[in-house]
Amino acid sequence: MRLSLIIPFALVLNITLFAQKRFDEWGEVSPEDKAMTVYPADTSAAAVILHDIGSTQIDDDGQRWFVNHRHVRRIKIFKLASFDQSQLNIYIRAGRDGEILDKIKVQHILPDGTIQRVKSDNLRLEKVSKYYKQMKIFVPQLQDGSIIEYQYELESEYLFALYDWYFHQQLPVRWSEITTHIRKEFEYQFLARSERPFDDQTKKTLVDNSATLRLGLANLPAMKDEPYMTTLDDYRAHVGFQLSRTYPVGAEPRNIMVSWEKTARDILDRDDFGKQFEKKSNFSSLWEAFEPQLVPGESPMMVAEKVVSFVKSSIGWNGYHNVLTDKDLNDAYAKKTGSSADINLAVVALLQKAGLDAIPVLVSTRDNGTPYENYPFIRQFNSVLAMLNHGDQHTLLDATHPFMPLGQLRSEYYNNRGWPVVAKKESPWIDIVAPETNIVWQGSLKLDDQGQITGKFDITSTSRTATNWRNKISLDGADDFLKKNFAEGYPDAAFDSIAVENQNDLNKPLKVKFGCKIPNTSNVVNDFIYLKPILDFAVKENPFKSLTREFPVNFNYPFKAQYVIDLTLPDGYNVEEMPASARIVMPDQAGSIVFSCNKMSESSLVIILKMTISKCDFPLAEYEVLRKFFDMVNEKANTQIVLKKS
């Protein structure tokens, strides 16, 4: 048997032998652990996982092969009041490749050292969905200082991928290890991902030609979500295994999905993927309904436009991301609803049938994690897009959102890279780059001596913002949309002559034009008016209030906001003090703020505030800069101009 390793990060192998004792045996607790009242490495932790020990092996009973995964976990609780009991839940895969839970043992070591066996009437197995079940453990007499340990085995006949092991958990982990034992009849590829070298990495080939690999990490911090990130899983140390080859006795070795090329061939061959767009009978009703719309001589993009809007109006998104279709495309069309696979494979099917070069692209959504390109595991993807090749260009297509312009994607799909499904030697990964989203306010306004502003506004938006607004306008109407989304700080604002342009012309910017009357925008005191000229802006408060941050910041989109108004002053007032113009640029042009306030005439001003965030990823080291940047945006958006009666 063989194991081959693919390592995405530079990983220095730790060759020192791990000689010391790695963890305590079942039921055996060291005096230090017994006495521990707080976890020294993380004093705010409500509990710590003292050890998390996994072992996976392939076995046979003479009839069949199966995978056995054994897990032992020990948790010490310091503060029961804030301990999340779901840390004691065991998740079990259900359905076709389901697992069987067996040999579960739970015991509770009380602070005084008494060991209580937790009996089965405290365990509850629940079926959650078609895909998984969970076992909940309710430990009697749980208290501060309790230690709980449990062990169980999961058995499954699904050999293709072994149990995914995550080293980091929601709680801090003192020691986590996974041992995998592979029989000589199999070869697995594995992908190990860790920011730092493993503390234990032991690989042994045994005399019977089987092999074991043990990976261990010590002192892992607790991991909690933060705003503006993709998913925690992208940062958790992890190892996954996928079957690459079998060595049947007395037969030739058999390759199982070892390359992207082979992976592509296999999935294209599936009834619930490739066959859906290759076999016309799977999408015949769609095609019959669509075909009459085709006109000879149209450009590929014109056809794509028609196909996407036809699919959008024919199959509504049911809220699920999927790589494989539920039934066939005709069925989704009949139901008028389907997953991302049903919808976007329908786009592929119609484009291909119309004679164009279109293929599916597999993607992983932001909350599903970053896929690895040297890791031909189909399971890392959870959704699919369509791609049209025309000339030497390609355009990605997504028909899951009714208000998405052609070539733009649902926001969760902007997650770096995607894999076009083509059976070629070179895996042609493509960049999936979020288009900048922007908002422009343009106003022509007049202030009166009571602090009321009247005038006209045009607001233009593109990309994600436009899509969101179109959706809101279609649900609430333009009037309600403005009330809820414009000048929120001024609940007295009244709007008239509201006009929306390009609500349905998705490829053009969305424009909302209106007249407004906004009382009490400014403080009128004695002979002074303190005027706040920025009535609305993209940033209402600093999104980064937290003083500390654990993970890099990732914005879904680069964005730009621009507020430009001309403002006529009330008769008899002069500008007493005007805020200074400012231009602030982040290092590497990653973001900028431009603010200016100028006199156009004696009685009118032009005020401009622009901000740009031109990249999506900000490493941790730039967090403080980013935080200050938004503070400054906020400050500028609250600028005041001092007017005085002449």
Q: Is 528 in the site for another protein (CB under 8 A)?
A: yes
- Closest separation between CB of residue 627 and another protein, Å? 8
Rounded to whole angstroms, the Cα distance separating 641 from 645 reads 13
Can residue 314 be called a binding residue for another protein (CB under 8 A)? yes
Spatial contact of 356 and 373, defined as CB atoms under 8 Å apart? no
Question: Which of 179/467 has CB closer to another protein?
Answer: 467
Closer of 158 and 528 to another protein (Cβ): 528
In the set 21, 64, 96, 545, which binds another protein (CB under 8 A)? Answer: 545
Q: How far is CA 179 from CA 6, 173, 212, 601, in A?
A: 17, 17, 7, 77
- Identify which range of 151-159, 311-319, 426-434, 603-611 contacts another protein by CB under 8 A: 311-319
CB 220 within 8 A of CB 37: no
Which among 248-256, 294-302, 331-339, 509-517 is the span making contact with another protein, rule CB under 8 A?
Answer: 331-339
CB nearer another protein, residue 121 or residue 252: 121
Return the number of other C-beta atoms located less than 10 Å from residue 608's C-beta: 14
Q: Which is nearer to another protein, 491 or 619 (CB)?
A: 491
Site for another protein in 546-585 (CB under 8 A): 546-548, 577-580
Site membership for another protein, residue 646 (CB under 8 A): no
Shortest spacing between CB 530 and another protein, in angstroms: 6
For residue 523, state whether it binds another protein (rule: CB under 8 A). yes
CA distances from 351 to 159, 167, 275, 300, 363 (A): 37, 44, 15, 9, 20
36-45's contacts with Cβ under 8 Å and 24+ in sequence apart are: 36/76, 36/78, 37/78, 37/145, 38/78, 39/76, 39/78, 39/172, 39/174, 41/172, 41/219, 41/221, 42/172, 42/221, 42/222, 45/78, 45/171, 45/172, 45/222
**Residue 219 touching another protein (CB under 8 A):** no
Q: Which is nearer to another protein, 255 or 546 (CB)?
A: 546
How far apart are CB 353 and another protein at their closest, in Å? 21
Q: Name the residue among 479, 447, 473, 443 with its Cα closest to residue 458.
A: 443
Minimum gap (Å) between residue 335 Cβ and another protein: 6
The token duo for 565 is 């108004």
> CA-to-CA distance for 630 and 637, rounded, in angstroms?
10
- State the nearest-atom distance from the C-beta of 124 to another protein, in Å: 4
107 binds another protein (CB under 8 A): no
Per the document, the length of the chain is 646
- Min dist CB 593 to another protein, Å, is 14
Q: Is 84 in the site for another protein (CB under 8 A)?
A: yes
Planar angle of CA 440, 530, 536, nearest 5 degrees: 20
79 makes contact with another protein (CB under 8 A): yes
Distance CA 632, CA 129 (A): 48
Q: Are 389 and 329 in contact (CB under 8 A)?
A: no
Q: How many CA atoms lie within 13 A of 10 on its CB side?
A: 0
Does residue number 44 form part of the binding site for another protein (CB under 8 A)? yes
- How many residues interact with another protein (rule CB under 8 A)? 63
Q: Does 598 bind another protein (CB under 8 A)?
A: no
474 binds another protein (CB under 8 A): yes
Going by the DSSP 8-state scheme, the letter that residue 20 receives in this structure is S
- Name the amino acid, one letter, at 253: P
146 or 368: whose CB is closer to another protein?
A: 146
Residue 645 near another protein by CB under 8 A:
no
Q: How far is the CB of 324 from another protein (least distance, A)?
A: 16
How would you list the strands of the sheet with 437-447, edge to edge? Answer: 494-501, 510-518, 453-461, 437-447, 559-568, 604-613, 591-601, 582-585
Query: Using CB under 8 A, which of the segments 59-67, 166-174, 299-307, 633-641 binds another protein?
Result: 633-641
589: part of which helix (H) or strand (E)?
Answer: none
Q: Output the smallest distance, CB 561 to another protein, in A.
A: 19
126 or 291, CB closer to another protein? Answer: 126
Residue 113 has φ and ψ, to the nearest 5°, of 95, -10
Q: Does 634 bind another protein (CB under 8 A)?
A: yes
Q: Roughly what angle, to the nearest 10 degrees, separates helices 340-353 and 300-314? A: 140
* Shortest separation between residue 46's beta carbon and another protein, angstroms: 8
Pairing of strands 173-182, 591-601: unpaired
313 binds another protein (CB under 8 A): yes
Shortest approach of another protein to residue 461 CB, angstroms? 20
SS3 content of the chain, % helix, strand, coil (to 5): 20, 40, 40
> Is residue 638 within the footprint of another protein (CB under 8 A)?
yes
Q: Does 334 bind another protein (CB under 8 A)?
A: yes
- Backbone φ and ψ for 528, nearest 5 degrees, come out as -105, 150
- Which of 22, 34, 93, 136 is the binder for another protein (CB under 8 A)? 136
Q: Establish if 522 lies at the interface with another protein (CB under 8 A).
A: no
Nearer to another protein, 45 or 257 (CB): 45
Q: Is 535 in the site for another protein (CB under 8 A)?
A: no
Which residue, 134 or 212, is less far from another protein as judged by CB?
134
Tokens of 428: 């042609």
Give the footprint of another protein on this chain (CB under 8 A). Answer: 43-46, 79-82, 84-86, 89, 122, 124, 126-130, 134, 136, 138, 140-143, 313-316, 318, 334-337, 474-475, 483, 491-492, 520, 523, 525-526, 528, 530, 541-542, 545-548, 577-580, 631, 634-635, 638-640, 642
